[in-house]
Amino acid sequence: MGNKMVPHITVKMIDPLLNVSFIARFLDPEFLAKNKSRPFSEGVYELFPTLRGKIEDTMTRNEIYNIVEPIVLRELSLRHEELNQRFMRSTISYFMKNGSRCMDSQKVLSRCIRKLYGFWKN
């Protein structure tokens, strides 16, 4: 067997504004009507309870975004140190357990990273 090349992997925390965009999408009534397989909005409300009751079924995604953005950015700012520590612990732990398996396939690696950096609680 020849030498295996270990790819260079860069793992970063999600951009806060991209995170806001995902969260606004997960609260969009149009999105929720089409995607009934997961309780997206309940996961968001669990992480950001101050959003509960602020989103109405008649709102556009842009209106939702304008409500979500200041709340999520404030919460991320307040929890920055905690999230940074969790990010580092999760990254190290995940790749120690699954690193070699992740290296076998780009698809598996992509799934590993998506799973690790979703906004749902671990």
Answer yes or no: is pLDDT of 43 > 70.
Answer: yes
What pLDDT, on a 0 to 100 scale, did the predictor assign at position 109? Answer: 52
Mean pLDDT across 65-87: 86
- The pLDDT of residue 122 is above 50: no
Please, are residues 74 and 29 in contact by the beta-carbon 8 Å criterion?
no
pLDDT of res. 105: 47
How far, in Å, CA of 20 to CA of 13, rounded? 13
Q: What is the pLDDT of residue 47?
A: 85
Global confidence as pTM: 0.61
* Domain residue ranges in the chain: 14-78, 80-122
CB 90 within 8 A of CB 116: yes
Say how far apart CA 94 and CA 28 lie, in whole Å: 32
Position 64 pLDDT exceeds 90: yes
